[in-house]
Amino acid sequence: MGYRSPHSPEKMVIKRVIALEGDTVITKSPYPFPKETVPEGHVWVEGEHPEGSRHSNDSNLYGPVSAYSAGGPTEVSRGILILNTRIR
């Protein structure tokens, strides 16, 4: 999901959606609570980084992200995204 960074709103970032509204996630450090239920209108996002490292600013740092932070309503649903690309 692409969205505006909560720490630098002039930047767009892309992260993997881990949980949708109503889901409960097991959080990682530095998040202050061991579990979090994603509130309505939000998603939980995490970046790609090796287990145990903190190379990604994501929901474990700033909490659930508004589904509207991409600049407008963002529809996020459960399922599989298939990206079809053509290599030339």
pLDDT score of 3: 83
Number of other CB atoms surrounding residue 30 within 10 Å:
9
The pLDDT mean for the chain works out to 79
d(CA 30, CA 60): 6
Count of C-beta atoms within a 10 Å radius of residue 56: 17
Q: Name the pLDDT band for 76 (thresholds 50, 70, 90).
A: low
> Measured in Å, how far apart are the chain's first and last C-alpha atoms?
26
| Res 86 pLDDT > 70 | no
Residue 24 pLDDT exceeds 90: yes
- pLDDT category at 9 given cuts 50, 70, 90 is confident
pLDDT of 41 above 50? yes
Between CA 71 and CA 56 the distance in angstroms is: 22
